[in-house]
């Protein structure tokens, strides 16, 4: 690899000092580097205003930065190297102090490639009876209550058959990569990112028995918003990888299945997912290395 696109989260590298050092290091060692900066409040994503060829994306930020880069630059189909300027960093494998040695390894093509499963969602509004939005997620597709609405009713189908009806704050449809995100905080299972499956996890269900369910990556999931109270249209919102969402009312449906696209991640260290998991969880609980 010689041609690098540097995508920086300006909240994490405020004065862009690391971005500048990385850019200078790449150029001084015979490579080329182009930087793009994400907007501070996240309202403006990562976009290129000219056509260039790159070998990979260096994402300087945290896991959220990688998700945004994966989303905004998906059409480029470039592998991503995550440099962790955030907190836990399950996706961002490289720590700031490792970045220059990692660039040397990228120059030498000393790395492996991982492909991460994506999921695709299609939103159908009952009033229009047609797909009004399609999108792809690396982490998860989340349907939650909107604003001050109370618990919502969600009927979940798998391959055309009813799986369950949830009265809850919402439901998370997660990829293996997303199992360490919102899914984890909602009590869902952790799974290896190399697997191919989907996880359905209710959020604060009004039930003693509702649990997460792990499904095949070949299954088709449909989530329908139900009308629970006569005096109120159920208000919900669906978002993809935490991005601004689409409002839903009773009768609206979201069809979710495996996407034909994948996110390619550069793997540089011979460390298993389980070692990373143990270290990150230990840091989050106790503030000490695992």
Determine the Cα–Cα distance for residues 200 and 217; give it in Å rounded to an integer. 12
* Structure tokens belonging to residue 61: 């930020």
**Long-range contacts made by residues 280-288, C-beta under 8 angstroms, separation at least 24?**
280/88, 280/89, 280/90, 280/180, 283/88, 284/87, 284/88
Tell me the residue length of the chain.
290
* Residues with catalytic function: 63
Q: What is the DSSP letter of 201?
A: E
Alpha carbon distance 173, 200 (integer Å): 5
- Compute how many other C-beta atoms are within 10 angstroms of the C-beta atom of residue 86: 18
| 106: CB partners within 8 A, 6+ apart | 1, 4, 55, 56, 81, 266
Tokens at residue 78, please? Answer: 């470039």
CA–CA separation, 121 and 142 (whole Å)? 10
């Amino acid at each position: 690899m010689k041609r690098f696109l540097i995508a920086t989260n300006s909240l994490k590298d405020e004065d862009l000092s690391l971005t500048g050092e990385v850019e200078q290091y790449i150029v001084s060692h015979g490579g080329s580097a182009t930087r793009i900066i994400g907007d501070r409040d996240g309202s403006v994503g990562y976009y290129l205003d000219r056509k260039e060829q790159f070998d990979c994306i260096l994402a300087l930020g945290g896991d959220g930065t990688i998700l945004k880069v994966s989303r905004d630059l998906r059409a480029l189909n470039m592998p991503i190297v995550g440099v962790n300027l955030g907190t836990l960093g399950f996706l961002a494998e490289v720590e700031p102090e490792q970045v220059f040695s990692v660039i040397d390894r990228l120059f030498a093509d000393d790395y492996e490639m991982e492909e991460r499963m994506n999921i695709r969602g299609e939103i159908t509004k009952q009033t229009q009876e047609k797909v009004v939005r399609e999108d792809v997620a690396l982490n998860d597709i989340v349907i939650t209550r909107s604003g001050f609405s109370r618990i919502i009713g969600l009927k979940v189908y798998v391959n055309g058959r009813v799986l369950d009806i949830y009265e809850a704050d919402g439901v998370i449809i997660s990829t293996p990569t997303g199992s360490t995100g919102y899914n984890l905080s909602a009590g869902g299972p952790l799974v290896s990112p190399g697997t191919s499956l989907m996880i359905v996890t209710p959020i604060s269900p009004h039930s003693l028995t509702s649990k997460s369910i792990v499904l095949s990556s070949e299954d088709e999931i449909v989530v329908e918003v139900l009308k629970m109270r006569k005096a109120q249209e159920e208000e919900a919102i669906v978002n993809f990888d935490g991005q601004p969402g689409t409002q839903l009312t009773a009768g609206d449906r979201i069809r979710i299945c495996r996407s034909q696209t994948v996110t390619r991640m550069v793997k540089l260290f011979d460390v298993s997912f389980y070692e990373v998991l143990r270290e990150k969880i230990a840091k989050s609980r106790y503030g000490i290395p695992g």
